[in-house]
Structures are given as C-alpha cells and as structure tokens.
C-alpha cells in the first residue's frame, strides 16, 4: 500500500539518519525493486532518510521545504494516476487543487498536481508528480510553506525531475 505523504512529511522533518534500503551515487538510485536516475539536487538540500518511507528525500531549511522521490513496483498498483494521487493526500485537510495537468516524463504520461492544503492545521503548498512505468509507480513530492518558498523550491524540484529516467525503454 502506498505510504501517506502527510506521514512522510512529519517523519521526514523529525527523524534523520535512519537506514534506507537503497543507495544514491552520481544521481543514480539503486533500490530493492528498481533503479533510476534523477537530475542534480543542489547542495542547499540536505538528505533526509526515514526507513521504509521514501527512496530519497531532502530538506531545505532556508525555504522550509521538503522534496521526495519514491517508487513501488507492484502490478496491483496498476490503477489510475488520479487514484494514486488521492491516496498520497490522505491526512491533509482543506485541499484545493491549484493546477493539474498531464505532462510527458520518461516516455510516458505523468500526473502533475499542485495543491494547497493543511497538515495538522498548518497551510502548505504541495506539488505531486506521479508516473507509472514498467509495473512501477514513481511519485515525486514537493512541500513548502505557502508563498515565495514554493516558487523558489519549484526550480530545484523541476531540475531534479528533468533528469529522471528509469533507463528502460
């Protein structure tokens, strides 16, 4: 079952240094189920690991932002991207879609959704991008306080996404 983004956000900002099941070297992640490449993540972002929550995650203290990458390879997850997106938003309240579009990603279509929502009463800007490819689901998330932090962090998030590839046609 997909992990809740709200749970990840809470744990990701309160626990660091836990073990992860994969490794990231030179922009390539190797995990138990899949391997993929990501674009450059600037040194402004500090890696955050929470065992069993995400493949990769970072925190930017200056922007008050977090971003993550996760994958799950399970043929049972062959459900619509909108259903996967809804599952990731469990735990958030007062959700409002700012923009949603289908975008090309690694030779497929990905669902990109910008939300505003609250987590435990705290307003957040959230951008999710979800891709299904080769029996795997890849989800990418950016969470920031509302306002300029979102636009600033979005540049870094999009840079990371721009380099994503599973390396499989």
Q: Is the pLDDT of residue 5 over 90?
A: no
The CATH number assigned to the domain holding 51 equals 3.40.1000.10
Burial class (CB in 10 A: 0-12, 13-18, 19+), 48: buried
pLDDT tens digit sequence for 65-99: 999 999 999 887 788 898 889 888 888 999 999 99
167 within a domain of the structure (yes/no): no
169 within a domain of the structure (yes/no): no
Number of domains observed in the structure of the chain: 1
83 within a domain of the structure (yes/no): yes
Decide: 151 and 145 in contact? Cβ < 8 Å: no
Residue-level pLDDT at 3: 46
pLDDT tens digit sequence for 23-50: 898 899 998 889 999 999 999 999 997 6
Q: Which residue has the higher pLDDT, 169 or 47?
A: 47
- Report DSSP state, residue 76: G
158 within a domain of the structure (yes/no): yes
103 within a domain of the structure (yes/no): yes
The CA distance from 109 to 103, in Å, is 6
45 within a domain of the structure (yes/no): yes
Decide: 128 and 141 in contact? Cβ < 8 Å: yes
Alpha helices (H) in 23-98, listed in sequence order: 81-88
Spatial CA neighbour of 134 closest among 104, 167, 156: 167
168 within a domain of the structure (yes/no): no
pLDDT tens digit sequence for 139-161: 999 999 999 999 999 999 999 99
**Residue numbers of the domain that contains 97:** 5-162
140 within a domain of the structure (yes/no): yes
């Amino acid at each position: 079952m997909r992990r809740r983004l709200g749970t990840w956000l809470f744990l990701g900002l309160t626990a660091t240094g836990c073990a992860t099941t994969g490794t990231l070297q030179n922009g390539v992640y190797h995990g138990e189920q899949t391997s993929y490449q990501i674009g450059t993540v600037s040194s402004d972002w500090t890696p955050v690991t929470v065992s069993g929550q995400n493949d990769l995650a970072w925190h930017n203290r200056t922007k008050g932002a977090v971003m993550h990458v996760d994958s799950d390879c399970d043929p049972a997850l062959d459900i619509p991207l909108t259903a996967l997106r809804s599952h990731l938003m469990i735990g958030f309240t007062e959700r409002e879609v700012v923009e949603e579009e289908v975008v090309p990603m690694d030779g497929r279509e990905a669902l990109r959704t910008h939300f505003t929502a609250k987590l435990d009463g705290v307003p957040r800007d959230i951008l999710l991008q979800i891709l299904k490819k080769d029996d795997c689901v890849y989800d990418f998330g950016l969470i920031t306080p509302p306002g300029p932090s979102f636009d600033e962090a979005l540049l870094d998030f999009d840079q990371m996404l721009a380099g994503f590839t599973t390396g499989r046609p």
